[in-house]
Amino acid sequence: MSEQNIQPLFRLRVEYVKAGRLAYLGHLEVLHTIERIIRRASLPYAVTQGFSPHMRAGFSSALPVGTSSRSEWYDVFLTSLVPPAEALQRLQAASPEDLMATRCGYVDVRTPALTAQITRVLYRIELSFTDASAGCPDVSDALSEVIGLGRIPYARGKKNKVLDVDRMLVSHRVADGEGCIVLELDTRCDNEGALRPEILVAAIDRVLARRAVASDDDPIQSTGIQRFDRIARYRVERRAQLVEGEDGELIDPLCARS
């Protein structure tokens, strides 16, 4: 322990993407891969003391299997300072294309964990309908109906949960995309939970299919990959993860202090 107190540590914060086929990786698979990338990059990572020493690193919240992201984050503690440009270049040389590091910089070692700091998450969702029967206004109306419900009950494994749409959804936008309808969401996430986009998509599908959103026998299931009645295909991408400042301003995690 004493050694650790004396040794200065540096906290490198790294942004990376989760794209293409690698969207199908599970959270633990991503964690282990990132650790291997850090070792391949030969960054001077710090190791926890004790029984089973491991790399000191912390990650932003888990992304469901099948969901891609333009902005995932991790912090890794280093025992010596590597200039950010060099660290980024070394990480990039050790990363597969679809988990590429995009930016990095140092934050204060006392900065709260990423999971505590990040309170706003932006998503972009593409919905495709094979029959082209549902257009932008239909989806928009369906979403309004879902928002009107306020709360969506769903099941996560064997647990019954409720998504508080009122509190977790900050704003939304529905627009026509190329061969799909694009849904943009600005959501909150905190200790109480986060808005899992697939639940909102499932609720929209049920409204479009004229089924009850809330159902005790057949609740909406929270999993990254689902099959729906009306929506033929959908793609969810995390666009940004941000820190909400005291005055409601949105701050990049690289610049956030508290």
Give the amino acid at 84: P
Interface characters, 42-61, with other proteins (x: CB under 8 A): x----xx-xxxxxx------
Distances (CA, A) of 157 to 103, 113, 154, 219, 222: 35, 27, 10, 11, 8
> Cβ–Cβ contacts within 10 Å for residue 108, how many?
10
**Which segments of the chain does DSSP mark as H helices, in order?**
2-6, 27-40, 84-93, 114-117, 136-149, 165-168, 197-208
Name the DSSP letter for residue 20: G
Q: Whole-angstrom Cα distance, residue 161 to residue 202?
A: 15
Name the residue nearer to other proteins (CB basis): 51 or 133: 51
CA dihedral in degrees (101, 103, 107, 112; nearest 10)?
-60
Interaction of residue 26 with other proteins, rule CB under 8 A: yes
Interaction of residue 35 with other proteins, rule CB under 8 A: yes
**What is the nearest approach in angstroms of other proteins to the Cβ of residue 24?**
4
Interaction of residue 151 with other proteins, rule CB under 8 A: no
Stretch that binds other proteins, among 19-27, 82-90, 183-191, 195-203 (CB under 8 A): 19-27
Interaction of residue 37 with other proteins, rule CB under 8 A: yes
Interaction of residue 100 with other proteins, rule CB under 8 A: no
Name the residue nearer to other proteins (CB basis): 115 or 226: 226
Give me 172's structure tokens: 């939304």
For other proteins, which residue of 12, 14, 17, 38 counts as binding (CB under 8 A)?
38
Interaction of residue 21 with other proteins, rule CB under 8 A: yes
Name which of 174, 161, 175, 164 is nearest 223 in CA terms: 161
For other proteins, which residue of 98, 126, 184, 190 counts as binding (CB under 8 A)?
98
**What is the nearest approach in angstroms of other proteins to the Cβ of residue 52?**
5
Site residues, other proteins (CB under 8 A): 20-22, 24-26, 28-30, 32-33, 35-40, 42, 47-48, 50-55, 65-66, 94, 96-98, 225-227
